[in-house]
Structures are given as structure tokens and as C-alpha cells.
Structure 1
Amino acid sequence: MVSLTISEPAVRSFIFYSSVLALKMMFMSYLTLKKRVGKNVYANDEDAKARKGTVKYNDPDVERVRRAHLNDLENIPAFWVLGALYLTTGPSAAIAVTLFRVFAVCRIIYTIVYAVKPVPPPARGIAFGISSLISMYMGAHIVLYYLPVRSFIFHASVLGLKMLSMSFLTAVQRFRKRVFANEEDAKILDNSVVTLTDPDVERVRRAHLNDLESIPLFWILGGLYLTTGPSAVLATALFRTYTVSRIVHTVVYAIIPLPQPARGIAFDISFLIKLYMGVHVISHYIISY
């Protein structure tokens, strides 16, 4: 791991573009609100009564913005983690700055052509693909750099790549079933339909959401756990087991569905590992508190 200072161009670039992307994500909430007010449709009774509107959960324009927002939530936090870890590998400043800049621009373009001014494919796909490839490149670079000695960084990066792959798995299911969430996507293939309830697609999306609920907590608790000076053997075993259990969870849930308790066991193992690390961190620092 190389030492980093705030004066380095790559570090300053990462901080700048991370802040831009954070503000962009915050803006999406206001864009959703603007769509709701413009269409006078709301998700809550009290909001509809206050503005004499209607309660509607499937307005296409509102849901389009919400899907764009969810895509940000699926991709930008992974960029923050992977980008920060990528800096610790001592990359070329020119390459790092270019990667950060292109990623941020692609995410902004993605939102514009998806939720602000919808443009037919492949505009959205290109913007998404480029940003995903950047994250994957950084993740692969980190994995290769830290493979021999840094168990946590290695497994955190593997999980980041795993989360990114879930978007592609969802796309594969949509194309396989010829079911899409947007009308412009359905026009790509003949005999395609627009539906938000296909069971196979929703199964993958639920597995993806479970990752979003679980893996970021592992990143936080695992990082804090390292500050307690744990046994290297135990820590490595925990990180490795957690990563394997999350991969198994996805396989038996979304790729080759197996009867319970297969998925429950995989989930429980990963849950207990996070619980143990969290309790260990609290017990270690409770005296200081």
C-alpha cells in the first residue's frame, strides 16, 4: 500500500469527482419530486391529499427517474470504494484522473439520456457500459495488486465486482425473457413486452437488493474490525467465508435456484460474520467511549 497525500493530483481528482457524484445522487431525489408534482401523482395518501392529486405507484415517468436513481445507488457507492482502494495501489496520476473524470461524465450522461431527456438505445447502454468497465478495471487492478497480502481489500474488491455483475445478470434475464422496464428497450427485440413483474427478472433484482443491503455493511464493519488488531488468521477466514457465502447466496437464489434452506444458510453465515465483527468492534472501543 502506498502512502497518499491530499496534494496529489489523483487524490484531489477522486475527491472532486466523488463530491460531484454525491451531489448528483442527491439531485435525483428532487428530480423524482419534480416528476411527481408535475404529474400530480404520489406514493403516499397524505401527499396526494395535500396537493389534490392521486396515489399511483406505477407512473412511467416517475418510475423512470426512480430506476435511474436506483442505478446510481447500485454503481456510484461501488465506485467510491473501488476508486479509494485503487489509489492505494499507486496508479499513474494521468490514468487515475482520466478514469475518475470519464466515470463521472458517463454517470451524468446516463441520467440525462435515461431520466431527463430519454434517448433511444444504445445511448444509455454506452454510458452505463463505460462506467461499469472503469469500475471493473479498478476492481481487477486492486485484486491483482493485493492478492498476496491484503485479505480484506481483496475480498472487498471481489464483492464490489460481484455487485456490479448483478446489473449484467439482470440485463441477461431481461433479454432472455424479452421483458423490459422501458418501452424503448422493448423495441430492441421483436415480441418483447414491458412488464415490471416477470418472476425471473424480479428474482435477480431481489438478489441484487440483498447485496445492496448486506455488502456495504461488510465494507464498513470489516474496515473497522481491522482497526482492533484481530488475529490475521481469523480475520482472513472471516473475510473469505463472508465473500464465499455471498456468492453462494446469489448462485442458489438467482442463477440456479435451490430449495431452502440453501439460501437461508448462505445468508445466515454472512449475517453472523457481520454481527461478530460489529460486536467485536463495539467491545474493543467501549472503554474509550
Structure 2
Amino acid sequence: MELYTPDNPVFATYMIAAALMVLKIMGQGWMTVYRMMKSGSGLVNPEDIQKGPFNPAPDPAQLERNDYVDRSRRMHRNDLENIPAFLAIGLIYVAIAPPLWLAQVLMYGFVAARACHAVAYATRQIHEVRATFYTLGSLSVIVMAVQVLAALLI
């Protein structure tokens, strides 16, 4: 069986997890835009307050910090700091042909941890709650990376 085909259940697991994480990154960007449009604030660039179809009544106050928008922006930045590492190591991880159950635990565990992290962030949970979900996702990525290195060194 070829490693990088949907017939390989480990690669199929990666495909599902990767697609979900790409949707998460892209969706968070759209969520930020939605929040800016809904609140009419949280814009970041001076040119954003020029009159246009989406901003018919520009106001310099639209450039002021807005936590409703910034929370989504921070969530997006957090995704961009974490998900690319998963996408990279997950693809490489497939090449070492790990047991399916382990790949599923690590890959779907990462997806679940990121989803829980997003919910915790969006609902303003205490730092320790977010940190727990970050840690679980991070450990999944680290375990995959260590296993890849071990497979090469052994």
C-alpha cells in the first residue's frame, strides 16, 4: 500500500485532521472579519477608515482597540502559531507508518485539543483551562516529532 493515498488509513486520518485544522484557521479569519463588521470597530489600518461600501460612515474611533474583535484576532494568531507545526509533522509522521490507533489518538487528539482551546478562549475561561488544551495539543505534536526522529535514528 502506498503511504500517501486515501487507502492508507493513517494518511486518511491525517487528511481529515489537516482539513479540519485548515478550516479552523480560515474560519477564524472570517470570524474576525464578521466581528469587525458587526461591531463597526477593531479595524487596524488607517486606510480601513476610508469611505466604502462596507464602511459608509468611517470614523477614526473604528481604529480603537475592541476586545470583541481582538479576542478573535488573538485566537487566529494562536492558531497560526500552532496548527502549521501539526500540518508539517503530521505529514512527515505518516511516512514512518505508525500504528493506526496511535496516529488517530495523536492527530484527532490535536484536533480535539484545538477545538476545546477555541471554545475556552471564546468563552473567556481562565488561563489554566486554555493552557491545558494548548498543552495537550502541543504534546501530540511533540510526540509525533520525537517518533519521527526516533525512527530515523534507530
TM range (shorter): 0.7 to 0.9
Name the counterpart of 1:221: 89
Give, as a single letter, the amino acid of the residue that structure 2 aligns with 1:177. S
The alpha-carbon deviation at position 210 of structure 1 amounts to 1.1
* Residue pairs, 1:129-148, within 5 angstroms: none
Matched, 1:242 2:104: no
Among 4, 18, 21, which residue is 1:159 paired with?
21
| Mapped contact 2:50–2:58 kept (Cα < 8 A) | no
Cα displacement string for residues 27-85 of structure 1 (whole angstroms, at most 9, x for unaligned residues): xxxxxxxxxxxxxxxxxxxxxxxxxxxxxxxxxxxxxxxxxxxxxxxxxxxxxxxxxx9
Change (3 A) 1:196 1:163: farther
* Residue pairs, 1:96-175, within 5 angstroms: 150-175=12-37
Structure 1 consecutive aligned stretches of length 4 or more whose deviation exceeds 4 Å: 189-192
Matched, 1:285 2:147: no
How many aligned positions are there?
145
Higher Rg:
1
* Residue pairs, 1:38-77, within 5 angstroms: none
| Mapped contact 2:110–2:140 kept (Cα < 8 A) | yes
The alpha-carbon deviation at position 200 of structure 1 amounts to 2.1
| Mapped contact 1:178–1:189 kept (Cα < 8 A) | no
Q: In 2, Cα distance between the equivalents of 1:185 and 1:238? A: 48
Cα displacement string for residues 5-29 of structure 1 (whole angstroms, at most 9, x for unaligned residues): xxxxxxxxxxxxxxxxxxxxxxxxx
| Mapped contact 2:51–2:58 kept (Cα < 8 A) | no
Matched, 1:272 2:147: no
| Mapped contact 1:241–1:270 kept (Cα < 8 A) | yes
The alpha-carbon deviation at position 225 of structure 1 amounts to 1.3
Higher relative contact order (CA 8 A, sep 6+): 2
Q: In 2, Cα distance between the equivalents of 1:260 and 1:281? A: 31
